[in-house]
Amino acid sequence: MPYTVPKLTDYSANGLLKAFADAKLAFRDEMREVKSEAEWKVFRDLWMARKNGILTQINDQLKKAPKEVKREFGQHLNELKQYIKSEIDSWHSFTEGGAGQLTAELERVDISLPGVRRAIGAEHPVIKTTNEMVRVFQKLGYSVAEGPVVETDYYNFESLNFPPNHPARDTQDTLFIAGQQSKPQRDRLLLRTHTSPVQIRTMETMRPPIRIVIPGTVHRNDPPDASHSPMFHQIEGLAVDTSITFGDLKGTLDHAMKEFFGSNVKTSFRPSFFPFTEPSAELFVSCFICGGSGKRGPDNAPCRPCKQTGWIEILGCGMVDPNVFEFVKDNGYDPKKVSGFAFGMGADRIALLKYGVDDLQLFFQGDVRFLQQWA
Ligand code: DAH
């Protein structure tokens, strides 16, 4: 028998308690019988319809109740309303889309349903590239070092053999921290323009021999476009020992490039200039996209990544300038006794080439549709 609201005569505390408990029990029993969406709607209206629903009928009784019990009556009613509403809502959310096969009661606690799977995310392509490159050097015995992004003029420039007012500083397009004018130049803060300052920082704390690889974020005052970003990533390397030669530099980097890009790539070293290395070089690898021919596909289309030259520039490198060692001489780096090589590359550019992405900005805009490709 469906529940009907009895005419209330006993307004005592116990009377009210019993009347509401009866209503609640009846609701629970009836709800157990609800098996389909259609039945659920009828049941919901029976109890909750504004016009003549059971809750409304009880509310009408509240209006007629003696003044002294109205408060208590109202509390019971509110509690019942909340209970009924949440039970009815939860029946629906548990059975949505699947009612009919199983009983309603079973579906409300169906532990066989798969859980809610949350995407765990994936490595960003630039970080992935960085980690892969770092791993190549770790396998050669290099340790990972890191340093601050907000750096002093001393570490970013002076100790790397850029004297004050050296023209090479202009090429760095430095972003300076405001309000530093009162400090001596070497103490002024800036956003590091390269990861090379970590060379000095590490040599200050670790005595030779050292082999370190340094991944990190750097900044330059470049407006963003398809190949520039004011924030980007570098991977630096430094090896110092008593008899390191340019041959070690070539052998190490040739091996690293083959390990990273594939054993069929060739390397080519061309003279260059950096204030902190002497001699300095740029390292090119044979284009791993066109195989070094400068042309692609059966119709010999021009290869864009290598600009049809068959070679792609990957990094700057060189033998550590003795003037750099002078700054850390007291920690065992006497330029007469030690020698070393260093290198630095742009991780973002390598990731662009590796994954065939044509716009650097895509890496930093955080569009999940783009980033999901690496998930
Ligand atoms: N720091 C240089 C730059 O950002 C890259 C570089 C060149 C790093 C030669 C080195 C190096 O360690 O030896 O352009």
Q: Supply the residue whose CA is at minimum distance from atom 4 of ligand 1.
A: 194
Q: Is the pLDDT of residue 92 over 80?
A: no
Peptide bond into 125 cis (omega under 30): no
Nearest to 363 by CA among 261, 260, 231: 231
Ligand 1 centroid to Cα of residue 263, in Å, is 25
**What is the arithmetic mean of pLDDT over 327-350?**
98
Distances (CA, A) of 200 to 44, 131, 215: 74, 23, 15
Q: Which atom of ligand 1 is nearest to the CA of 320?
A: 13
pLDDT at 106: 53
Tell me the CA–centroid distance for residue 358 and ligand 1, in Å. Answer: 24
Mean of pLDDT over the chain: 92
* pLDDT tens column, 239-298: 999 999 999 999 999 999 999 999 999 999 999 999 999 999 999 999 988 999 999 989
What's the average model confidence in pLDDT over 331-335?
A: 97
pLDDT at 96 over 70: no
User: Per DSSP, what are the bridge partners of residue 283?
Assistant: 269, 315
Distance 273 CA to ligand 1 centre (A): 10
Give the pLDDT of residue 99: 46
In this prediction, residues 44-68 reach a mean pLDDT of: 93
CA of 143 to the centre of ligand 1 (A): 18
d(CA 332, CA 344): 24
- List, for residues 2-42, the tens digit of each pLDDT value: 899 998 888 998 999 999 999 999 999 898 888 888 888 99
Is the separation of the CB atoms in 3 and 27 below 8 Å? Answer: yes
Tell me: pLDDT of 75 over 60.
yes
CB contact set of 197 (below 8 Å; sequence gap of 6+): 147, 151, 155, 156, 159, 160
* Range ranked top by mean pLDDT from 31-35, 84-88, 108-112, 330-334: 330-334
pLDDT (tens digit, 9 = 90+) per residue, 217-237?
999 999 999 999 999 999 999
